Amino acid sequence: MMRKVAVIGAGSWGTSLALLLARKNLEVVLWGRDAALMARMNNSRENVRYLPGHSFPPDLLATADLNTALAGADCLLMVVPSHGFRQVYRRLAPLLMEDIPVVSAVKGIENSSTRTMTQVMQEESTAKKHFFCVLSGPSFAEEVAQGYPTAVTVACADIAVAGAVQQLFSSSLFRVYSSSDVIGLEISGAMKNVIAIASGICDGLGYGLNARAALITRGLAEITRLGMALGADPRTFAGLAGLGDLVLTCTGNLSRNRTVGLKLGAGKSLEQALAEMTMVAEGVKTTLSCYHLAQTTGVEMPILEQTHAVLYQNKPCKDAVSDLFQRDLKEENFSL
The residues assigned a catalytic role are: 192
Any idea of the CA torsion for 314, 336, 255, 257, to the nearest 10 degrees? -20
Q: CA–CA separation, 169 vs 331, rounded Å?
A: 43
Residue (of 186, 182, 220, 321) closest to 261 by Cα position: 321
Q: CA–CA separation, 173 vs 65, rounded Å?
A: 32
Fill in the amino acid letter for 308: H
- Give the phi and the psi of residue 49 in degrees, each rounded to 5: -75, -45
Helix (H) or strand (E) holding 206: none
Contact 137, 174 (CB under 8 A): no
